[in-house]
Amino acid sequence: MPTRAELKSKAKAQISGNIGILFLIFLIFGVMMGVISFIPIIGTIAIYLTMGPFLLGIYMIFLNLGKSIRPKVGDLFEGFRYFGKALALYLLIAIFTFLWSLLFVIPGIIKSISYSQSFYILANNPDMTALEALNESKKMMAGHKWEFFVLQLSFILWGLLVAITLGIAAIYVGPYMEATLANYYIAVSGNGEKVPDRVTVEQLRPAEPEAEPEEKSVDEDKTATKPTDKQDEETDETKE
């Protein structure tokens, strides 16, 4: 498992050269959510309906960064291809986290960490159902909750910088943090190995077995070892 420093160092390299487009993506997302929130009643409903797909699109963007795929503005809307699953996952996380928080704050925090990898899992496995992604996240985070909590806490000073600069530092801090968390998912899930984007026919074709050497028959061995008449005559002449 990589250290926090290694995860962050990798994230810095990934966002380098992509800050502009990532800022634009976050800006579009923020403006859309802001505008929608001003619409009475309908705006609140619209936020609940669209937040899941938008989050899925953002998680896809940062997973792709790990594969050296440069983001595009259109990637923000990729999550809407799986609208039903993304909405269901968002609602499940919100409901379960709320119910656990009724017991006390700490159980709610623990459960939110348990569910933290759900959108990454769905982004990586769109054939899964929302509940399957949620359960897979719970299994994945077993024994890793404190580790993930400390990773999040390590950005507290960056958060203060964002506050001091009235949000300007978020242009860098937001992508930096999201890339680090995506790298954590890749590490904890064991998906760090590179998989080729395309597999050729030759790679799919089974290798042909090597031809076994032909075994000589017993008669051939005898023939090979039996001296010829000419060899016998030469041997007799040598003795004389």
pLDDT tens digits, one per residue of 2-51:
899 999 999 999 999 999 999 999 999 999 999 998 998 899 999 999 99
Q: What percent of the chain is predicted at pLDDT more than 70?
A: 79
Is residue 173 assigned to a domain?
Answer: yes
pLDDT tens per residue across span 89-121: 999 999 999 999 888 888 889 999 999 999 999
Q: Which residue has the tokens 């026919």?
A: 201
pLDDT tens per residue across span 65-76: 988 899 999 999
Is residue 59 assigned to a domain?
Answer: yes
Is residue 136 assigned to a domain?
Answer: yes
Is residue 86 assigned to a domain?
Answer: yes
Give me the sign of the Cα torsion angle 205, 198, 190, 110: negative
Indicate the pTM of the whole model. 0.76
What integer best gives the mean pLDDT of the chain? 83
Is residue 206 assigned to a domain?
Answer: no
CA distances from 163 to 11, 14, 34 (A): 22, 24, 19
Is residue 31 assigned to a domain?
Answer: yes
What is the C-alpha to C-alpha distance for residues 18 and 172, in angstroms, rounded to an integer? 10
Is residue 221 assigned to a domain?
Answer: no
Chain Cα centroid distance, residue 96: 24
Over residues 129-150, mean pLDDT: 95
Q: Give how many domains the chain has, as a whole number.
A: 1
Range of the domain at 115: 11-189
* Residue 76 DSSP one-character state: G
CA distances from 190 to 134, 142, 168, 183 (A): 17, 14, 35, 11
Q: What is the pLDDT of residue 178?
A: 96
DSSP-based three-state secondary structure for 209: coil
* Cα dihedral value 95, 96, 97, 101, nearest 10: 100
Is residue 231 assigned to a domain?
Answer: no
Q: Above 70 in pLDDT, residue 230?
A: no
